[in-house]
Amino acid sequence: MADARVVPAVETDPDAAGKPQALRSRITGSLARRMIAIAALWISVLLLGGGFALDRVLTGAITRNFDSGLEYVLIAMIRSSEIGPDGEVRLIQPLGDQRFLEPYSGLYWQISGGGQEPYPSRSLWERRLATSDAHDDQQLHTYDSHQFPGEELRVLERDVVLPGSKTKWRFQIAQSRETLDLQIRAVRATLIPSLGLLGLGLIALAALQTFYGLWPLRHIRRAIAAMRGGENRRVIAPLPLEVQPMVEELNALLAHNEKQAEEARLHAGNLAHALKTPLTVLVNSATSSDSELAETVRREAATMQRQVEHHLARARAVGRRGAAQARANVWESVEGVSRAVAALYPEVRLDAAGDKKLIARVERQDLDELVGNLLENAAKYGGGSIFVTIQREDGMAEILVEDDGPGISPVDRVRIFDRGVRLDTGKPGTGLGLAIVRDVAEIYGGSIGLEESEDLGGLLVRLRLPAV
């Protein structure tokens, strides 16, 4: 076995490892209101986006339909046009819509080009449609015009060269946007209330779903109130699958607390019973003027001390066992305890080897007490050499403490764990060391066993604790 002497190191507090000071936000308010607000916000965003897209689609469709009617009239006007004897443009047949003959009717046409005066429809009267040479309308050109005060126009125009003429003529057809805008407003007057009603319905549905989904939490609240009133000891109401794991954890926590309370009552009763007899002996000795009163007091006081130490150790372990975050580095604990044992027993050689990163699910103070009892017993009853091995085995953290002493016979390896039993009465002690180690290890779900050391020939103590 390769020995590695324990090198003293500066002890570090695992709780002082510089935890980051993160900001903690308090989660307050109603869970139902929070869920409904999120649903309402998301529904509003979706309806606004969808409504805007739908408005664009419907408005575009109505506008294209409006433009298609004007384009049909423009094509009919081009087909009915010809060049007269004087080179002017004229219509072979008038356009069929009566509004072209009524002044300011809102429907107009105009032909211009060749440097001549524009040829307008009668509905334009003294007004003329604006033209621009800044662009070439070989294809259909559509735009909105505000050239007439109080009347917005939708204008379609196209440049055409008629047969028998080299002049490029611009044909224009215009109509007031009033009809188009009325259709768009009618669509929006239906679309906006419909989307608003749909949004309110969806929010109401989300609220109903939220209250219905959270209703099982009210059952849990009533069940907890019933437990507080003494009607039940557990939450037994049937609940949905999503809530059931939480209820099971709650019931497990209640069972754990009951077990701790029962253990506390049991320890208190055991301690009271253990102290009752020594106190009775002391009282009887004091009242009878016993000549050996001092010896009786010393003996019974030692007995009470052993009992108090034992039950206090168990009470501390039971109290700390509930901490799920209990962690302790085994190697650091062995190092720290080894220095203390080396100071008390300078003639003892103490070496260790194994996994330096092994973490046990034990509070550091309890682990120090367990290791301290084992190392002190090995130093006190061994032959001067102690070797500690730290290893992981089957998900457990194992601490093997070997010494070169006389060891313990197989018969006494069971009896030694009884409280107050000491195989060597010539050395000081209370006889509670191994009993405390066994009880504390079992509280954490571990165990302890005694074997014979193959390397040193003395006792081998195998302590097993749950590992992280």
Cα–Cα distance, 417 to 438 (Å, whole number) = 7
CA neighbor of 446 nearest in space, from 422, 425, 463, 426: 463
Reported pTM:
0.50
Cα–Cα distance, 130 to 259 (Å, whole number) = 96
Residue 14: what pLDDT?
42
Residue 272: what pLDDT?
63
Instruction: Please report, as a single letter, which amino acid is at residue 50.
Output: G
pLDDT band (50, 70, 90) for residue 107: very high
Residue 254: what pLDDT?
82
Is 9's pLDDT higher than 80?
no
Cα–Cα distance, 109 to 77 (Å, whole number) = 9
Instruction: Please report, as a single letter, which amino acid is at residue 390.
Output: I
Cα–Cα distance, 374 to 391 (Å, whole number) = 17
**Range with the poorest average pLDDT among 217-231, 265-279, 330-344, 450-464:** 265-279
DSSP 3-state of 409: coil
Cα–Cα distance, 111 to 117 (Å, whole number) = 9
Query: What are 48-98's pLDDT values in tens digits?
Result: 999 999 999 999 999 999 999 999 999 999 898 888 877 788 888 888 889
Number of H helices, E strands in the chain: 8, 14
Is 321's pLDDT higher than 60?
no
Is 164's pLDDT higher than 70?
yes
Total count of residues recorded for the chain: 468
